[in-house]
Amino acid sequence: MKALGVTGSGSGLTDVDLAAPSPTGTEVVLQVDRCGVCHSDVHLWEGGFDFGGETMSLEAMQIPFPLVLGHEILGTVCEVGPDAEDIAVGDRRIVYPWIGCGHCVKCASGRDDLCPDQQALGIRKPGGFGEKVCVPHSKYLVDPGDIDPSWAATLACSGLTAYGAVRKCLPAESDRPVVVIGAGGVGLSAISILRALGHSNILAVDIDDQHLAAAQDAGAAKTINTSSVPDPVETLMTAAGGPIAAVIDFVNGPMTAPLAFALPEKGGTVVQVGLFGGAFPLPLAGMAVRAISLQGSYVGSLQELRDLVGLARTGRLRPPPIAERQKGEASEVLAGLRDGKIVGRVVLEG
Ligand SMILES: [Zn+2]
Ligand SMILES: [Zn+2]
């Protein structure tokens, strides 16, 4: 089976030849139809993550090599194990890639996304940059209905990450201001989800006017380019027209964190989503006095993916801009993402 893999930290993407998966037990094998390219792929491609300090290499994270990237997968079932149920060859499905160990407390409660020994596709197990993927159970497959196939693929990570973050800043009354920092693909999805859930007072923040134009199209009531205003906090407070209920930071780096923590009202929420990395000194007493809730958010649960796909199938959600490219262009796409040159999402075909 042909695949694009990483063979070590900083190796770049190389062609690798792997044995095609053959399903046993409840396993299901899918032919990959589409696979989105994500910022996490950029970190894996570059060779590590910055968790606040120095970059942690893939070797230090004990990532097995070759690592076949790609966790935003839409595929067609091509083979099923003898014990697989509720699935048939030919079914087209979105793959929930955030698969847990299957036997811990979190997995038992349906929260594979919080499993301490997660075996995510495209991060620890072969992902969608290969021709086929193997999923341990049909419960990880979600029917996309007739929504656009490329958009369907992106729901598994960028869509789910946006949905999981939005759920954490609710319930806030629908007219209360919510600030979305970072109008890349995930931020745009969050704006669209907030709108679909009835929220109207959404403020989008970015340093790129093209991203902000896309945010307006996605449903942001106001857009602010923080690189062109002298006092972003003051500008946002005024633009919000009232105390800000929640801030979702899709960048989450030292350049956005001071803004994210300065904005919420007393009792408000900061949801940290982005994996930009770095560190930020937190004003500790201020956090207590303002009773701020600080909530990290990493992808989302299997049930949240089902809920999100259900919302997408109602037609109330607006897809972010999506460009389709061939798998052979993956390295170029990763470089474009790294350099902030891509508006919305890119999905690889075939
Ligand atoms: Zn992702
Ligand atoms: Zn587990």
Strands (E) across the chain are located at 2-6, 14-17, 28-37, 48-50, 55-57, 67-68, 72-80, 92-95, 132-135, 141-142, 178-181, 202-206, 222-225, 244-249, 264-272, 293-296, 322-326, 345-349
Residues 202 and 252 in one domain: yes
- Say how far apart CA 72 and CA 95 lie, in whole Å: 7
119 alpha carbon, closest ligand: 2
Percentage of residues in the chain with pLDDT exceeding 90? Answer: 83
- Spatial CB neighbours of 265, under 8 Å, sequence gap ≥ 6: 243, 244, 245, 290
In a domain, 302, yes or no: no
Share of the chain above pLDDT 70, in %: 99
pLDDT of residue 52: 64
Task: Tell me: do 278 and 169 sit in the same domain.
Answer: yes
The ipTM is 0.99
Task: Find the ligand nearest to 186 CA.
Answer: 1
pLDDT recorded at residue 213: 96
Residues 259 and 143 reside in one and the same domain: no
Distance 241 CA to ligand 1 centre (A): 34
Number of domains observed in the structure of the chain: 2
Q: List the one residue out of 153, 157, 222 whose CA is nearest residue 186.
A: 157
Contact 293, 272 (CB under 8 A): no
**Residue 286 covered by a domain:** yes
Backbone phi, psi, residue 298, to 5°: -130, 115
Give, as one character, the DSSP assignment of residue 121: B
Better-scored residue on pLDDT, 145 or 64: 145
**CA–centroid distance, residue 290 to ligand 2 (Å):** 35
* Assigned domain for 301 exists: no
Distance from Cα 164 to the centre of ligand 2, integer Å = 19
Do 31 and 142 belong to one domain? yes
pLDDT over 80 at 191, yes or no:
yes
Domain that holds residue 268: 160-296
Taking residues 255-266, what's their average pLDDT? 96
For residue 82, name the pLDDT band (cuts at 50, 70, 90).
Answer: very high
User: Do 144 and 212 lie in a common domain?
Assistant: no
Residue with tokens 């201020």: 286
Ion ligand 2: residues, CB < 5 A: 100-101, 104, 107, 115
Measure 98 CA to ligand 2 centroid, in angstroms. Answer: 10
Q: Is residue 307 part of a domain?
A: no
CA of 128 to the centre of ligand 2 (A): 22
Decide if 154 is inside a domain.
Answer: no
- Domain contains 189: yes
Phi, psi dihedral angles at 121 (to 5 degrees)? -70, 135
Dist. CA 46 → ligand 1 center (Å): 15
Ligand 1 center to residue 161 CA distance, Å? 8
**Nearest ligand, CA 164:** 1
Q: Say which CATH number the domain at 210 has.
A: 3.40.50.720
Q: What is the pLDDT of residues 303-336, one digit of tens each?
A: 999 999 999 999 999 888 899 999 999 999 999 9
The chain-wide mean pLDDT, for the chain, equals: 94
Identify whether residues 139 and 172 lie together within a single domain. no
Residue 292 forms part of a structural domain:
yes
- Is the pLDDT at 40 greater than 70? The verdict is yes
Give tens-digit pLDDT for 276-310.
Answer: 888 899 889 999 999 999 999 999 999 999 999 99
* Residue 332 in domain: yes
Q: Tell me if 165 sits within 8 A of 184, measured CB to CB.
A: no
The rounded Å distance from CA 269 to ligand 1 centre is 23
Q: Residue 277 Cα, ligand 1 centroid: separation in angstroms?
A: 15
- d(CA 301, ligand 2 centre) in Å: 13
**Same domain, yes or no, for 208 and 323?**
no
